[in-house]
């Protein structure tokens, strides 16, 4: 029987166990949107994870939507990330970077002078973002023109190349949590006509073009994707999530990707939103590759889910923030540290690198 603690080959990446640190925004980047020394230490402390998915990282200055997130567009950022990947590899860990474009979840004050957020639509999101002025409503976006899409895809390709130059084992394309790619996927946001709007096929086109570009650049075996069919973070659900995400998975299935990462239910919230059923097992049946699940897993559910073959990998978010030695604690059945929720976003070492590990 397979357990959570067994190794697994995931595309080109060999993992020591099936416990994944989920991508987690912590807003502790230093000047130039670079990971600093505290971030090196934070990931080093968590390197016993089978895989770390490093936090969502904007692929270009225009892709940013929150204060102090670390980017992957500049040479300085590549150098800064090298310290992170080196530290994780020295501990025997594996680490991929989540490639992020926020789309319309941004504010002009976070963008290069004169720019507004871009999206599939020019409709403003009913959402706020964190800026130097605190939490404020997002700016009205402009709809990307079809002829701007090739440059956008080029930004993803360059970011993937940069991630490999920074020493990452691969990348995860962030197609979840109602950011840019999901703003194209869902008919609740995407009001375009033309090749990127209308049918499910057209709304999925951007995701597939990005995926092929990234996989073509760094190898499919180093490319993963994250999806969140039922998350309503900054946008309503699609009118037919089962059909939309069923098509997405069917299209991704033959590409030979490292893994597919699916958030069940509402990201960071309930796994089973009231009155909103979704058949995740149907997606899994349609996907032949490595299957990662996330959201609200505890030890028992994670052990059972892997033992039952319902997932190959389980990603843990908040448990990995509070408990750097989560793998050992899960193995021993030891209790986890308490999360300091007031230290999640921004700040320094407190609630970031000062959580204790078990002695001995
Ligand atoms: C929390 C705060 C800011 C960003 C996501 C990247 O939801 C995020 C995020 C989460 O995927």
- Identify the residue whose C-alpha is closest to ligand 1 atom 11: 177
Q: Are 344 and 26 in contact (CB under 8 A)?
A: yes
The predicted-structure confidence for 76-90, as pLDDT tens digits, reads as follows: 999 999 999 999 999
Is the Cβ atom of 64 under 6 angstroms away from ligand 1?
A: no
Residue written as token pair 């594996």: 94
In this structure, is residue 354 part of a structural domain?
no
Q: How far is the CA of 25 from the centre of ligand 1 (A)?
A: 5
Q: Indicate the helix (H) or strand (E) that contains 9.
A: strand 8-10
Per-residue pLDDT, 181: 99
Q: How far is the CA of 134 from the centre of ligand 1 (A)?
A: 16
- Identify the residue whose C-alpha is closest to ligand 1 atom 3: 25
Buried b (16+ CB within 10 A) or exposed e, 21-34: bbbbbbebbeeebb
- Identify the residue whose C-alpha is closest to ligand 1 atom 8: 25
In this structure, is residue 238 part of a structural domain?
yes
In this structure, is residue 358 part of a structural domain?
no
Q: Which two tokens stand for residue 193?
A: 């006509």
Looking at the CA of residue 102, tell me the nearest atom of ligand 1.
6
In this structure, is residue 141 part of a structural domain?
yes
Is the Cβ atom of 177 under 6 angstroms away from ligand 1?
A: yes
The predicted-structure confidence for 167-183, as pLDDT tens digits, reads as follows: 999 999 999 999 999 99
β-pairing verdict for 259-263 and 291-294: parallel
Phi/psi for 44 (5° steps) reads: -60, -40
In this structure, is residue 360 part of a structural domain?
no
Is the Cβ atom of 223 under 6 angstroms away from ligand 1?
A: no
- Identify the residue whose C-alpha is closest to ligand 1 atom 7: 177
Q: How far is the CA of 247 from the centre of ligand 1 (A)?
A: 25
CA distance 173 to 212: 11
User: Which of 358, 294, 301 is closest to 328 using CA atoms?
Assistant: 358
Per-residue pLDDT, 4: 97
Question: Where are the alpha helices (H) located in the chain, listed in sequence order?
Answer: 37-45, 75-90, 149-165, 180-185, 200-218, 241-252, 280-285, 299-307, 318-322, 326-332
CA distance 56 to 163: 12
Q: Which residues are catalytic?
A: 179
In this structure, is residue 106 part of a structural domain?
yes
- Identify the residue whose C-alpha is closest to ligand 1 atom 4: 25
Rounded-to-10 torsion of CA 121, 124, 130, 132: 100
Per-residue pLDDT, 1: 86
Would the pTM of this model clear 0.85, i.e. be above it? yes
Q: How far is the CA of 178 from the centre of ligand 1 (A)?
A: 10
Is the Cβ atom of 130 under 6 angstroms away from ligand 1?
A: no
Q: Residue 229: which domain range?
A: 8-343
The DSSP line for 323-354 is -TTHHHHHHHTPPPPPP-GGGSSS-SSTTTT-
> Which of helix, strand or coil describes residue 115?
coil
Q: How far is the CA of 26 from the centre of ligand 1 (A)?
A: 9
Query: What is the chain's pLDDT, residue by residue, as a tens digit (360 residues)?
Result: 899 999 999 999 999 999 999 999 999 999 999 999 999 999 999 999 999 999 999 999 999 999 999 999 999 999 999 999 999 999 999 999 999 999 999 999 999 999 999 999 999 999 999 999 999 999 999 999 999 999 999 999 999 999 999 999 999 999 999 999 999 999 999 999 999 999 999 999 999 999 999 999 999 999 999 999 999 999 999 999 999 999 999 999 999 999 999 999 999 999 999 999 999 999 999 999 999 999 999 999 999 999 999 999 999 999 999 999 999 999 999 999 999 999 999 999 999 999 999 987
Q: Are 54 and 23 in contact (CB under 8 A)?
A: yes
Q: How many domains does the chain have?
A: 1
In this structure, is residue 244 part of a structural domain?
yes
- Residue from 22, 23, 53, 56 to probe ligand 1 pocket by mutation (most atoms less than 8 Å from CB): 56
- Residue from 21, 23, 25 to probe ligand 1 pocket by mutation (most atoms less than 8 Å from CB): 25
CATH number at residue 263: 3.20.20.70
In this structure, is residue 221 part of a structural domain?
yes
Is the Cβ atom of 56 under 6 angstroms away from ligand 1?
A: yes
């Amino acid at each position: 029987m397979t357990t959570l603690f067994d190794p697994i080959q995931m595309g080109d990446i060999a993992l020591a166990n099936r416990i994944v640190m989920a991508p987690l925004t912590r807003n502790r980047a230093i000047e130039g949107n670079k990971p600093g020394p505290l971030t090196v230490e934070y990931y080093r402390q968590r390197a016993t994870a089978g895989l770390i998915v490093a936090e969502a990282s904007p692929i270009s200055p225009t892709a940013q939507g929150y204060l102090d997130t670390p980017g992957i567009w500049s040479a300085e950022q590549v150098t800064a990330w090298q310290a992170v990947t080196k530290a994780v590899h020295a501990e025997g860990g594996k680490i991929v970077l989540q490639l992020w474009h926020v789309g319309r979840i941004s504010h002009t004050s976070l963008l290069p002078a004169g720019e507004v957020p871009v999206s599939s639509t020019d409709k403003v999101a009913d959402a706020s973002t964190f800026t130097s002025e605190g939490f404020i409503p997002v700016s009205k976006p402009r709809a990307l023109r079809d002829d701007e899409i090739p440059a956008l895809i080029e930004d993803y390709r360059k970011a993937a190349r940069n991630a490999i130059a920074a020493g990452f084992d691969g990348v995860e394309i962030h197609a979840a949590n109602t950011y840019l790619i999901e703003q194209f996927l869902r008919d609740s946001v995407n009001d375009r006509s033309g090749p990127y709007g209308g049918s499910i096929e057209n709304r999925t086109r951007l995701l597939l073009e990005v995926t092929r570009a990234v996989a073509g650049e760094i190898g499919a075996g180093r490319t993963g994707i994250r999806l969140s069919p039922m998350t309503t973070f900054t946008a309503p659900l699609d009118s037919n999530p089962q059909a939309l995400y069923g098509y997405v998975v069917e299209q991704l299935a033959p590409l030979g990707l490292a893994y597919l990462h699916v958030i069940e239910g509402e990201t960071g919230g309930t796994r089973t939103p009231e009155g909103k059923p979704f058949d995740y097992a149907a997606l899994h049946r349609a996907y032949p590759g490595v299957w990662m699940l996330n959201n609200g897993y505890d030890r028992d559910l994670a052990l059972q889910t892997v033992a039952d073959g319902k997932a190959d990998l389980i990603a843990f978010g908040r448990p990995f923030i509070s408990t750097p030695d989560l793998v050992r604690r899960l193995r021993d059945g030891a209790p986890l540290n308490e999360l300091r929720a007031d230290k999640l976003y921004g700040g320094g070492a407190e609630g970031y690198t000062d959580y204790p590990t078990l002695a001995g």
